[in-house]
Amino acid sequence: MLIGREQEQAKLKAAYESEYSEFVAMYGRRRVGKTFLVREYFNYKFTFSHTGVSNKNTRGQLQEFYLSLKRQGAKHIVLPTNWSKAFDQLISFLESSSDKRKVVFIDEMPWMDAPRSGFVSALEHFWNGWAAARRDILLVVCGSASSWIINKVLKNHGGLHNRVSTRIHLKPFTLHECESYAKYKKLGYSRMQIAEGYMVMGGVPFYWSKIDKSKSLAQNIDALFFSQDGEFRYEFDELYASLFSAPDKYLKIVEALGTKRAGMTRGEIVKHSGLEENGQLGKMLENLVYCGFVRKYCSIGKKVKDALFQLVDNYTLFYFQFIKGMPSADECYWSKMVGRPKYNTWCGLAFERLCLLHVRQIKAALGISGILADVYSWYSPDAQIDLLISRADNVIDVCEIKYSRLPYSITSSYREALLHKMQRFSESLAANKALQLVMITSNGLKTNQYSDIVNAQLTIDDLFHR
């Protein structure tokens, strides 16, 4: 059953109902549900479908493609010796089909492009020389190696330049979608528990599919991440290897970013990772941003060249914090950790990331969805603001984010710290804009003599909006 994905389904619907041939390219991180979405949407009915196979050379890939054609009804074909002949056989097969709309689904396409295979040029010829000249072809391609999809298809400067008519970046679930999935699985979790699960796993559907409803959230995290044979204990290396052809360099960037909560400039990344400052570094950072692992943002008032790169992938950060370097498996580690200082500190930081990943919902809750607004952060030697929403109506929402099990209480000293922070930030502004303090808390704000400085307050419920 498909949960959420309304916008992505609408794009597939529009491509299917188009009066012209359409080229759809879908990308996204491992386990995010690309294959599931396409198969479910088209009810597993394709004129032709094929999945590339990992770790096979060109000859092996061609043999698998040939077998897919035979299994799906192609007749009088021989094993092709190159990709041009393979796509020519596909053309003959599609021309013989009586399907009014011929849907071709090629999954894990990056694996098909072995070194010096000529795959991309053959794909270009298939699309430009045949499919694009017709009105009845819908080609859907996807793969976990997002950097390949991005660089070889979406940013192709050759024959595929601007040929993709629909691009779908399949992102992890939002909290709303996770809640819908939790209800579908009858997990019985509260919103606080769903949020904590999100802070550990992000919104990756496959991770959520492994939750056992007979266990508590803490027990599930123990079983999946901390038991000796836990399914996600060894996920980290596989995750980055599946996404990028040269994962070692990407891992150096990610590990460097994992050491600094607020993010790093390119210069700082070079210093901490040992990589060279060149075009390749820029491309790798761009790919990490495309895949949703890294957030690129500017501090307000700073130039684009001073942009910061911040690691925001929940699973990766959880791995660095609690799994990497553990000498042995304690199968009840997480259950024992809950409520301890290290756990409480992690909750505070992870909740901040949760909010950064749900800015659209925050804007909706503030009633400013229709107002043009830019999102920033701001740092000074003695103060920092993780989320600023600078609005076109000359207002800046200064968002203060706090996680607590009970309604959050502003103390006298914290009120003074907030006022100091607002004053320092106001002094740094070149433009004269009104500042509004927004408190985003997990369980609401306790009203007392110090809470009058807050202009608006949001709770975890607001993050669950569609």
pLDDT above 80: residue 1: no
- Provide the pairing of β-strand 48-51 with 102-107: parallel
Whole-number Å distance between alpha carbons of 8 and 170: 8
pLDDT above 80: residue 420: yes
CB atoms within 10 A of CB 238: 13
Residues 184-193, mean pLDDT to the nearest whole number:
95
**In terms of pLDDT, which residue wins out, 78 or 154?**
78
Whole-number Å distance between alpha carbons of 411 and 395: 26
Cβ atoms of 89 and 124 closer than 8 Å: no
pLDDT above 90: residue 290: no
Cβ atoms of 168 and 11 closer than 8 Å: yes
Cβ atoms of 287 and 150 closer than 8 Å: yes
Residues 363-384, mean pLDDT to the nearest whole number:
87
Q: Which residue has the tokens 């909290």?
A: 175
Residue 313's SS3 state is: coil
Q: Is the dihedral of CA 16, 18, 24, 26 positive or negative?
A: negative
Sheet arrangement for strand 395-402? 373-380, 383-391, 395-402, 434-441, 456-458
What pLDDT shows up at residue 433? 87
Residues 318-327, mean pLDDT to the nearest whole number:
85
Confidence bin at 305 (pLDDT 50/70/90): confident
What is the DSSP secondary structure assignment for residue 264, as one 8-state letter? B
Confidence bin at 106 (pLDDT 50/70/90): very high
Residues 376-382, mean pLDDT to the nearest whole number:
82
Query: pTM (2 decimals)?
Result: 0.90
Confidence bin at 300 (pLDDT 50/70/90): confident
Tokens of 186: 């009858």
Cβ atoms of 433 and 398 closer than 8 Å: no
Residues 419-425, mean pLDDT to the nearest whole number:
91
Residues forming a β-bridge with 441:
402
Whole-number Å distance between alpha carbons of 127 and 239: 31
Residues 183-196, mean pLDDT to the nearest whole number:
95
Residues 400-409, mean pLDDT to the nearest whole number:
94
pLDDT above 70 covers a percentage of the chain that reads 98
pLDDT above 90 covers a percentage of the chain that reads 70
Mean pLDDT of the chain: 91
Containing 418, the helix (H) or strand (E) segment is helix 412-428
**In terms of pLDDT, which residue wins out, 463 or 149?**
463
